[in-house]
Amino acid sequence: MTPSRLAAVAVAVDLLLPAWAAAQAASDAPGPVHAVPNMFAPVSVPADSIRELSFLVLGIAAGIFLVVAGVLLWCIWRYRQQPGDDREPPQVYGSNPIEWAWTIVPVLIVLVLFLATARTINEIEASEPPPGAVKATIVGHQWWWEIRYPELGVVTANELHVPLSPAGARRPTFLTLESADVIHSFWIPQLAGKTDVVPNRTNRMWMEPRETGTFLGQCAEYCGTQHAKMLLRVIVHEPADFDRWVAAQRAPAASDPSVAAGRAVFQETACINCHSLDGTVADGSFGPDLTHLMSRTTIGAGAAANTKENLRAWLENPDHFKPGVLMPAMKLDDAKLDQLTAFLMTLR
């Protein structure tokens, strides 16, 4: 295989690996895994409205294409040169009916699209949180998602957990979107529309899923070197299961005496400057909260499945999974690396 082909294969693998890792990790989560984001298979109220609007736009666009292509083909056939006819065709300079037609028809089409889009946007944006709605704040970072539930006292990262919203007992989830650095874009196609996450500005969106399972998405706005590996997932629970998840996340961090050495390594390194962890001196805000690290299915915002082997490799050299990631290698020896990994593995 030539060097150029090897390079092409390497690039393809680098682009496909994050998606494969996301699907593989999500397969370990409860419920069905919707591994392929698909806006044409909505399972949430806002996504339903967006699909209906998309079908209208696609239908109008398809109609325009068929009309234009049909007229073009008819003209080619009708006015083709006949054998033995070398005369110059009549030269027509303008036609008022045609001019009016291709002015008025496009204006009417644009007006219909504008009104339909405005109605859909208004229906989605005007929705107010009903009693019992879940509220979460999403903060985009390079290159991961901070997720907070202020009313529930829960902080996590890269995985948004929401309850099912059954008919007759609505429990939608309303999101407040913020950015800590550059412009990102939050998008889970099957649950809601794409919404930009802009520094110094607060945007809002909501979702109301009617099916349980794991839904995959990612940042949809180029935000730097590792934009492609800024993945996210939404895990939809039955209401009772969601309440149990909240209770587990609110519990104190695990304290296992058998990994005291690893805990000491954690508190002696620069980890505490960027991460926060209940029960320790770590109170950083540049990286994800680690209190319940092992309850998540991936590390590095979907860069790899959250396993002991991957976690150790991540601690040893984050650049191996995410070149350009802002987390530095701690340069620990093997013994301390094993101790730190064992400690983090207890944080469920």
Q: Which tokens sit at 121?
A: 């946007």
pTM of the model: 0.82
Band of residue 348 on the pLDDT scale cut at 50, 70, 90: confident
Band of residue 13 on the pLDDT scale cut at 50, 70, 90: very low
Nearest to 155 by CA among 36, 45, 296, 337: 296
Band of residue 330 on the pLDDT scale cut at 50, 70, 90: confident
Q: What is the 3-state secondary structure (H, E, C) of 125-179?
A: HCCCCCCCCEEEEEEEECCEEEEEECCCCEEEECEEEEECCCCCCCCCEEEEEEE
The model's pLDDT over 31-66, given as tens digits with 9 standing for 90+, comes to 788 878 888 889 998 999 999 999 999 999 999 999
Residues 259 and 108: their CA atoms lie apart, in Å, by 70
Q: Are 21 and 305 in contact (CB under 8 A)?
A: yes
Band of residue 292 on the pLDDT scale cut at 50, 70, 90: very high
Residues 346 and 106: their CA atoms lie apart, in Å, by 63
Instruction: Give 13: exposed, middle or buried? Use CB within 10 Å, 0-12, 13-18, 19+.
Output: exposed
Q: Residue 24: is its pLDDT beyond 90?
A: no
Residues 90 and 242: their CA atoms lie apart, in Å, by 74
Band of residue 233 on the pLDDT scale cut at 50, 70, 90: very high
The model's pLDDT over 143-196, given as tens digits with 9 standing for 90+, comes to 899 999 999 999 999 999 999 988 778 899 999 999 999 999 999 999 998 999
* Span of 88-92, 146-150, 260-264 with lowest mean pLDDT: 88-92
The count of C-alpha atoms lying within 13 angstroms of the C-alpha of 165, restricted to the half-sphere facing its C-beta, is: 22
Q: Residue 228: is its pLDDT beyond 70?
A: yes
Q: What percent of the chain has pLDDT over 70?
A: 91
The model's pLDDT over 115-131, given as tens digits with 9 standing for 90+, comes to 999 999 999 988 889 98
Instruction: Give 15: exposed, middle or buried? Use CB within 10 Å, 0-12, 13-18, 19+.
Output: exposed
Question: Would you call 283 helix, strand, or coil by DSSP?
Answer: strand
Q: How far is CA 325 from CA 56, 283, 344, in A?
A: 42, 20, 20
Identify the pLDDT of residue 30: 57
Band of residue 278 on the pLDDT scale cut at 50, 70, 90: confident
